Structure 1
């Protein structure tokens, strides 16, 4: 069932502007050599064309994506009105052709509407050739040209609208992917650090309560910071700082029993390096089984090297790789010698 909510009001208003051109068939009816009742019926048919034309241009209901059904829904009544009008004014009904091609191009993609419009114009041309004289043929040629131009213009507008909609959908998809990736990185690092620190606090609870208390306090701060980071990522305002990530990495490595060695230029402030450091250190804690990790930061380079079990050369970190590629930087993940650690390098 078609309801008012199935129609796009801005599209309806835009289509209504073109109803001005219904004056053309109305004037032809007004000067045609027909009886008063035929004139009245013809004007009614012209008037009914307006609502069908506007509805065809503005319908966005369930059948909108089913193009052939949508064509049948709006083109059928328009063709019937045109055929009925030709009963009274004959071949001069060609003045209705631009309205037909416009609706067809609006309700269906060009690869369908082009063939439908061509079929309508050819069929009407055959009718005019048999039912009209030279003047009617000349008028038909003029109106057929206008109808083809109008159909092509409306098809072009539909293509541009679909491209704009696709562009918007792609942009939203990229935003969702970016938020998903950021939350993955944030929670992956934070939950790893929380797990390590909570395990350490549990071990220290009996033999060093003061140190255990310190670890629990750091857990509270870490969980609060993780919550703030997730909120910021959702609202698109999260930008990690290198100084904070260096401090967090040092604390997390120590809690995991991995000795950190940090050589960082204090003047370097790179959100890209901060992201890379966060994920690289998380992977060291999770997978390396290392007991030492060296972090080096220069203006052009970040290196995180551990002495763990190593990985196969060429292995990359997928989430980190997407950040690096988007920034136009280079990522290299390798094990210099088999089973003697992993080196993650980011260069700009």
Structure 2
């Protein structure tokens, strides 16, 4: 209850400040606003005061945590998740270090892509491809309900799902090969995705559509480097995003690191103002939170570097910068991201107003999330 009251108070102060030209945030307010725009991963099945992520939360005010079951950098099956009791304690401890409630996120799509596995004692659900092929839209609802109930029981409030990429390329190594798309028909994708989202929402868990503006036709893997879909992408890949947004069911949208010269001749989607602000915000009318795909993926980090990637993503319109801290592990990465964002503001490259805009979106979502939790 204390955190619910706190978030309402903070949001009220920020919004009233935004309405008055005579009130501008002091450094501490700016620090908090910047911190809330960062989501980071970390190592550990438990957290104590010496864990770098605790300092990220306490000192840099980071707003979100992403959890993994495997440590890619170490090629290890031990990362953040071992079982229900352990995970519930971990998320509770993480929340205890933060004055503003954290978004705690995980990729729990079903099928192959899951962080909470049956071996760990969690219920499993079918993949998107299996659900779509079944033709049973109610099965997608049940899958969303099972996942939502499972995540809620262990303190996870955000699912990086569903994937609404259209299955345009059967040889796609990151979508089709992993059974992550509901269908090659964008209308079927949207129907099954909406049912899945309804299931998550019934348990009070936020959803995230991915990967905008469509990763289904790619031949490459943006984890590994530059991925161009210019010749393979079709405009109807936008349909699931547009339909779900217009139906008011999209909590968040995750950008893809794909390059599409038909939408922007110079930049990949995550770093493109034409794609994020022009297409997703203005043309499609999305008013919720835009989160980047992992900023450590080579399609961004390998082409632009750390600070430049942050600068371009925020200028393009991203609200939350996601750093999985798993492909490469760096202690204190959340604080490093916050420090670079602060420096960009001090240098005048990013305005305080731009930071505040994202902060208000984040705080509204957190307020609504806590309000729903208090009623359940």
Same fold per TM (> 0.5)? no
Instruction: Identify which of structures 1 and 2 has the higher relative contact order when contacts are C-alpha pairs closer than 8 Å and 6+ apart.
Output: 2
Q: Which has the larger radius of gyration?
A: 1
**Structure-1-length-normalised TM-score:** 0.22
Q: Which has the higher helix share?
A: 1
**Structure-2-length-normalised TM-score:** 0.21
